[in-house]
Amino acid sequence: MIACRAKGLNQFCDIHILWFPFIILTGLNMLVGCSHTEKVLLPPIIELKAYRNIGVIEFSTNAENNLRPYVTQNFIQNVQSAQPGTRVLELGSEKLVLKSLRRQELDLKTIKSIGDEYNVDALILGHLQVSEIKPNVKIFSVPQAVRAKVYVEAALQTRILETNTGATLWTKANSGKVSVAKLNLAVEGPFSFSASDPKKKYGKLVPELVYANTSDFRSRYEYRKIK
């Protein structure tokens, strides 16, 4: 408490002390009132419209060959859905592209040659690494067979290269694990998938991996404090 000797001053001090909490509270309310949170739309991290034409080499994979076009098409669809109007030229497999250019490997000179030969400003490459996990096996007496549910994990790595310099413009890698198609197994026999179509065999694994991998191409919302 503030003590003042003069009577008039005491009166002034008492009034001042009574109003002090009100003044502080009013000031805080004014500060809070001056700022608020808004949902702000942010542009994509990677703007593909900067490139006139983009070439895509069919993604490679350690799994069966019919998975290559499946993951490649998923990637292209996500890119064009995120940024409509993106001009994509599908160049085929790496083996086919190298053969057409009479090159042995995808080195710096080859990347520049791809830009000149196919008239593309950027090149998209990707690889899907699939690892099969030990299945959850259930044995039935009739018929003499084993049925199992397989859990598969995979990693998708993609990158964009600038064809006139060969420089890496963007790269991203992500992984996931999911339960996929059922597996049949004769007693003392080898494992075999019950589905040959990659869309049925791998279920949501490929679409979910690709969607996460292409997040940098999509606009996104973020909550920000605005003053």
Per-residue pLDDT band for 125 (boundaries 50, 70, 90) equals very high
Calpha distance 217→88 (Å, rounded) = 14
Q: So where are the chain's domains?
A: 7-34, 41-224
Among 65-69, 172-176, 187-191, 206-210, the minimum mean pLDDT is found in 187-191
Question: Is residue 187 pLDDT above 50, yes or no?
Answer: no
Question: Is residue 6 pLDDT above 70, yes or no?
Answer: no
Model pLDDT for residues 67-89, shown as the tens digit of each residue: 999 999 999 999 999 999 999 99
Q: Decide: residue 127, CB within 10 A, 0-12 exposed, 13-18 middle, 19+ buried.
A: middle
Instruction: Tell me the whole-structure pTM to 2 decimals.
Output: 0.73
Does residue 97 sit in helix, strand or coil?
helix
Report the Cα 99 to chain-centroid distance in Å.
32
Contact 156, 209 (CB under 8 A): yes
Calpha distance 116→108 (Å, rounded) = 13
Q: Of 133 and 160, which is predicted with more confidence?
A: 160
Q: What is the arithmetic mean of pLDDT over 118-147?
A: 74
> What percent of the chain lies above the pLDDT cut of 70?
68
172, HSE (Cβ side, Cα atoms, 13 Å): 16
Q: What is the arithmetic mean of pLDDT over 214-224?
A: 87
Q: For the domain with range 41-224, which CATH number is right: 3.30.160, 3.40.50, 1.10.155, 1.10.10? A: 3.30.160
Q: Of 186 and 162, which is predicted with more confidence?
A: 162
Question: Is residue 27 pLDDT above 70, yes or no?
Answer: no
Does residue 208 sit in helix, strand or coil?
helix
Per-residue pLDDT band for 204 (boundaries 50, 70, 90) equals confident
Amino acid making up residue 26: T
Residue 14 confidence (pLDDT): 53
Question: Is residue 31 pLDDT above 80, yes or no?
Answer: no
